């Protein structure tokens, strides 16, 4: 059979299948009967414009959509009234075979819109209040299709609806910034690689990170030339614009799907219920006219919540060949909203810790409302709040605080306070004379403590000695800061194996782009340059560069860390002569630093 004849047969038989066959009986001229040809007719009715778009979707699929379960949108296109579910083909043996048509795949935004309109028609039939929100969602995906590379917009849609299926409280109108940055990639601005961030102009990355003040605010630890933890997990990062002209750092903790940090967080710990707008209106109505109302927006809200040090290895990333890890709650953590809501609720309760008026004494936390106990050798503080604005029934609220190993453990400070508090009944917070603390006095305490807790930085920059010293400090009891955090100092280690003197000044210039000038700069560098150039040239270069650093950092004390004697030198075979040269450079550098108001460190125990 020729191909032309074969196609003609298929078209003819298909026409017979999808059209009715009737014959008039000679015995009954006034009546007509349907003749059974043995072929099941598949007649498509003409639908009214008033019919629901989801008329042909199975009831089971409709129930899933209404209940908020995830549904593959291509199923809706397969069940469309304009689609034929089967077609007639010839197999390899020349036999006519009826085969089911494969599901229509969504490969462009127009096909997706067709499917999503059917989805919307079914969904808003029950959830009418979400009509505007779901239309906003459709617009967002359509906008993403115009900006994404390939089918990133489709991946965004699938991941968003999967997330909404797990968290029904998620609004359709919300643009998920993490998913948007992960899939709706702006080709001219952003490209993501696992654990890295790349922009069109590499120089703009540093300026962008400087803009968000992450390192300056001590919300990120680093940079480290090697992994600060052996098990440090790297996840991608990115920047998204933030009004008016800033940048927001996003940590993609949902990548890779199924094996990410977020994949192992219980969904129950990710859901959150915010105060509804109706409740706000009811509260305003209850308060009545002539009342003052204020609104507060918390800047960088998530980043105010510190992460527990035991979780630091989960929040790593790599940038500009250096390693970093998060120290504060990152944008991109599935449980971030839930955790911040707990903190915000606690802040509201703090308003009831001290009294505002004399007749409100019964609403204040009293000394008898605080108890300390132990469970499995861990101390627990229980604080009973007898009254709160969030407690409409007057049952009170109990807050449990568990002991931690953090330096700012609240139980540690609470115990110290209770030891010094006068042994009198009454409010928990009071003066030494027993008088209660006013709300104004209480609110001034955090401001004063934040000023006193501002940490000064110490930079330790140099070769592999600094690198190995950092690793040992990390393992020690006092940690990276060597216990100096108790004196309001933090130590920033910057060690690089084989570092030569010529790399010192460029390195410090780079560090100044991402951190404020240090209080103290410790230099342990130059040993790898001895023998590479003459001793006189090295000394003059060292003099010039230290003077340059002094001009760059006028408020910084420069400390010279003396070279250690070596058995082998990179550019010399005579061990004794090289050690003598190192001693001369040490003496000269120590003298120069002292002339500039600094000092030097000797290691007489190492020979």
pLDDT at 216: 63
Choice among 203-212, 253-262, 271-280, 480-489 with the minimum mean pLDDT: 203-212
List, for residues 108-142, the tens digit of each pLDDT value.
Answer: 888 888 888 889 888 888 888 888 888 889 888 88
Closest CA to 521 of 448, 463, 591, 598: 598
Q: Read off the pLDDT band of 556 (50, 70, 90).
A: very high
Model pTM?
Answer: 0.35
Q: Is the pLDDT of residue 433 over 70?
A: no
In CATH terms, 455-601 corresponds, of 3.30.499.10, 3.40.50.1110, 3.40.50.300, 1.10.10.1150, to: 3.40.50.1110
Q: Give CATH for domain 186-286+301-338.
A: 3.10.10
Q: Is the pLDDT of residue 285 over 70?
A: yes
What's the sign of the alpha-carbon dihedral 492, 496, 500, 506?
negative
Number of H helices and E strands in the chain, helices first, is 16, 19
Domain ranges of the chain: 1-43, 186-286+301-338, 354-447, 455-601
What is d(CA 318, CA 310) in angstroms, rounded to the nearest whole number?
A: 20
Q: Are 244 and 140 in contact (CB under 8 A)?
A: no
List, for residues 558-606, the tens digit of each pLDDT value.
Answer: 999 988 888 888 777 888 888 888 888 889 999 999 999 999 898 877 7
pLDDT at 356: 46
Q: pLDDT over 90 for what percent of the chain?
A: 7
Q: Is the pLDDT of residue 150 over 90?
A: no
- Residue 224: phi and psi, rounded to 5, are -120, 135
Choice among 86-95, 264-273, 364-373 with the minimum mean pLDDT: 86-95
Burial class (CB in 10 A: 0-12, 13-18, 19+), 376: exposed
pLDDT at 81: 44
What six digits make up the tokens of 558?
A: 């420069």
Higher pLDDT, 506 or 193: 506
Q: Is the pLDDT of residue 510 over 50?
A: yes
Q: Read off the pLDDT band of 547 (50, 70, 90).
A: very high
Q: Read off the pLDDT band of 522 (50, 70, 90).
A: very high
What is d(CA 130, CA 174) in angstroms, rounded to the nearest whole number?
A: 12
């Amino acid at each position: 059979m020729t191909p032309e004849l074969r196609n003609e047969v298929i078209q003819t038989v298909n026409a017979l299948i999808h059209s009715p066959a009737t014959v008039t009986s000679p015995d009954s001229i006034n009546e007509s009967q349907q003749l059974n040809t043995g072929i099941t007719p598949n007649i498509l009715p003409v639908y009214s414009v008033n019919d629901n778009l989801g008329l042909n979707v199975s009831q089971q699929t409709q129930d899933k959509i209404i209940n908020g379960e995830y549904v593959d949108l291509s199923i809706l296109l397969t069940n469309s009234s304009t689609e034929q579910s089967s077609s007639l083909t010839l197999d390899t043996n020349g036999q006519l075979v009826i085969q089911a048509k494969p599901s229509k795949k969504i490969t462009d935004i127009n096909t997706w819109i067709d499917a999503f309109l059917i989805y919307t028609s079914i969904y808003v039939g029950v959830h009418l209040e979400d009509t505007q929100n779901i239309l906003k969602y459709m617009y967002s995906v359509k906008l993403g299709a115009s900006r994404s590379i390939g089918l990133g917009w489709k991946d965004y849609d699938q991941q968003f609806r999967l997330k909404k299926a797990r968290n029904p409280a998620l609004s359709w109108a919300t643009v998920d910034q993490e998913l948007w940055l992960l899939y709706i990639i702006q080709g001219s601005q952003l490209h993501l690689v696992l654990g890295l961030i790349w922009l069109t102009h590499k120089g703009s990355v540093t300026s962008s990170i400087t803009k968000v003040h992450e390192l300056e605010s001590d919300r990120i630890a680093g940079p480290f030339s090697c992994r600060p933890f052996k098990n440090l997990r790297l996840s991608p990062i990115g920047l998204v614009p933030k009004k008016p002209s800033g940048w927001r750092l996003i940590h993609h903790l949902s990548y890779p799907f199924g094996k990410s940090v977020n994949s192992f967080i219980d969904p129950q710990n990710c859901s959150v219920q915010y105060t509804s707008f109706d409740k706000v209106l009811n509260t305003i109505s209850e308060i009545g006219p002539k009342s003052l109302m204020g609104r507060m927006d918390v800047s960088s809200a998530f980043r105010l919540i510190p992460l527990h040090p035991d979780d630091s290895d989960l929040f790593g990333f790599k940038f500009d060949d250096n390693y970093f890890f998060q120290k504060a709650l990152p944008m991109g953590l599935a449980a971030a909203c839930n955790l911040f809501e707990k903190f915000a609720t606690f802040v509201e309760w703090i308003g009831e810790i001290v009294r505002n008026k004399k007749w409100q004494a019964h609403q204040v936390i009293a000394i008898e409302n605080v108890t300390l106990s132990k469970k499995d050798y861990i101390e627990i503080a229980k604080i009973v709040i007898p009254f709160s604005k969030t407690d409409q029934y007057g049952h009170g609220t109990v807050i449990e605080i568990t002991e931690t190993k953090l330096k700012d453990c609240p139980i540690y400070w609470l115990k110290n306070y209770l030891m010094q508090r006068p042994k009198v009944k009454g409010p928990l917070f009071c003066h030494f004379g027993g008088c209660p603390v006013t709300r104004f006095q209480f609110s001034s305490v955090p401001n004063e403590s934040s000023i006193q807790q501002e940490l000064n930085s110490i930079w330790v920059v140099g070769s592999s000695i600094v690198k190995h010293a950092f690793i040992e400090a990390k393992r020690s009891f006092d940690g990276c800061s060597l216990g100096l955090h108790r004196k309001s100092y933090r130590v920033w280690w910057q060690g690089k194996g084989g570092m030569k003197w010529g790399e010192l000044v460029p390195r410090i210039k780079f560090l100044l782009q991402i951190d404020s000038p240090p209080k103290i700069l410790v230099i342990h560098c130059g040993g790898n340059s001895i023998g590479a150039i003459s001793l006189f040239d090295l000394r003059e270069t060292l003099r010039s560069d230290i003077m340059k650093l002094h001009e760059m950092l006028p408020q910084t004390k420069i400390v010279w860390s003396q070279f250690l004697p070596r058995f082998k030198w990179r550019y010399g075979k005579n061990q004794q002569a090289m050690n003598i040269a190192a001693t001369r450079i040490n003496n000269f550098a120590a003298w120069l630093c002292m002339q500039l108001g600094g000092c030097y460190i000797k290691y007489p125990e190492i020979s």
